[in-house]
């Protein structure tokens, strides 16, 4: 199980947080996701067989929130 922290720009309220957690949390191989509005980031635990750091970053970016991997 891997974990990554992705910076997420553009969220303004809890419904933004929920829509990201909801959609990304349903992706294959994603075990958990915790999005923080205050820290502007998303912490995810995933199975590297199904997802990569880049695929998850891109999945959030595709939803319209600027996402970047913060090392």
Partner 1 sequence: MTKHEFFVDMTCEGCSGAVTRVLNKLGGVQFDIDLPNKKVFIESDHSVDLLLETLKKTGKNASYIGTK
Residue ranges that bind partner 1, judged by CB under 8 A: 10-13, 15-16, 19-20, 22-23, 62-66
Distance CA 49, CA 63 (A): 23
Least distance CB 17 / Cu ion (angstroms):
7
Q: Which residue has the tokens 């075990």?
A: 31
Closer residue to partner 1, CB minimum distance, 34 or 48? 34
Q: Minimum Å distance from CB 66 to partner 1?
A: 7
Residue 56 burial (C-beta neighbours within 10 Å; 0-12, 13-18, 19+): buried
Nearest approach, Cβ of residue 58 and partner 1 (Å): 11
């Amino acid at each position: 199980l891997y974990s990554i922290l992705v910076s997420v720009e553009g969220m303004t309220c809890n419904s933004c947080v929920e829509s990201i957690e909801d959609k990304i949390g349903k992706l294959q191989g994603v075990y958990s996701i915790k999005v923080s509005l205050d820290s502007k980031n998303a912490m995810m635990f995933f199975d590297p067989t199904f997802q990569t750091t880049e695929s998850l970053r891109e999945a959030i970016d595709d939803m319209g929130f600027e996402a970047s991997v913060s090392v």
